[in-house]
Amino acid sequence: MGKEATASGIRGWGCTPTGDPPPAAVSSDERANTNSGCLPPVLTRGWRRTTLYGILVFLLLLVCLNIALTLWIISALRLTMAGIGPIKIVKEGIQLEGQAWIVDNLIASTIMSQIARPITLHSYRNFTVLVSEPGRKDYSKMLIKRDSIECSGRAFQIHDSRGNDVFHASREEVRIFSESLAVDGAGGVVVKSALQSPVVRAPPGCDLQLESLTRRLDIRAPQSIQLESRAGGIDITSHNNIKLDSIVGAIKIDAPNIIISNLKEAPVVENQQKNPRARKVYQLCACASGKLFLAAPDTICAVQDNDTELCR
């Protein structure tokens, strides 16, 4: 019974045909040799070695992929020893060739163009330059819009290439440090408050007009006012009265010919000259109100009591 049970228990073991009777006893070495003959040769050499080879192959593929991606990035960004593509790192800072798109803010101490090349700043909405100091609330700002330029700050100054002042504007005053201020246009200069200038003159070949359309025109000076025309005349026209007032001094009119036209002539009462040439000679008379009129040279410089035309 024991032999039959043993024979039936090991039937089919070791890849032997089930029909053939196995040997009575099989050793452990023979079993190992029998099992290795049924598996592939790769697995019979050891699963640890096969796993290590697989990991090494995966790492090799990963390294090759990283090298390929690195080369692609270098070629796409055009990385060189001097910089990135059009951007080169120089001693003074960063040099850019071509165009640069700034998405958010650009912070720099100096922006300048290359030698003999212009610089263009283009913005689709507006361009803002902001200068401030850390820890301080006040700042200077220049805003360039599509149709206007706005500057905000304590003062606005313009200097020439030599460093001399040309223009200064602040809340208190506006100064122009040039020999002359020329304004071309039919409208001229419109001043709402006051204009202070040592000299007001017109360019050669043009007339100088001081005009106030709806209000008064005042010319004031602490010492003297000089109106001079070297090659033409001076016309003063007013809708109402023209008043020349001197508080301390006198009003002096110095000219070889003084002509006052459109003066009314007093009627001749008595001692009328028969010579018609004498009618061209008159005497200048004044009313009590200061109004001037003409009278005959051989009559009394007076008007009648019922006069309503000369001294009204």
Q: pLDDT digit string (tens) for 144-166?
A: 888 888 888 888 899 988 888 99
Given a cut of 80, whether residue 205 has pLDDT beyond it is no
Given a cut of 70, whether residue 236 has pLDDT beyond it is yes
Structure tokens at 44: 């019979």
Structure tokens at 26: 């099989």
Residue with the two structure tokens 């071509």: 98
169 φ, ψ (degrees, to nearest 5): -135, 130
* Rg (the chain; Cα; Å): 56
Alpha carbon 181 to its chain centroid, in Å, reads 23
The rounded percent of the chain whose pLDDT value lies above 90 is 7
Which amino acid type is present at position 101? W
Structure tokens at 295: 């009278």
Closest to 21 in 3D by CA, of 8, 2, 35: 8
Q: Per-residue DSSP letters for 109-178? A: S---PPTT-------SS-EEEEEE-TT-S-EEEEEE-SS-EEEESSEEEEE-TTS-EEEEEESS-EEE-S
pLDDT at 60: 96
- Residue 5: in which H helix or E strand, if any? helix 2-9
Mean pLDDT calculated for residue range 243-251: 79
pLDDT at 279: 60
Residue with the two structure tokens 């610089």: 119
Q: Check residues 176 and 58 and name the one with the higher pLDDT.
A: 58
**DSSP state, residue 139:** E
The rounded percent of the chain whose pLDDT value lies above 70 is 80
Q: Check residues 248 and 39 and name the one with the higher pLDDT.
A: 248
Q: pLDDT digit string (tens) for 42-82?
A: 555 677 788 888 899 999 999 999 999 999 998 888 887 77
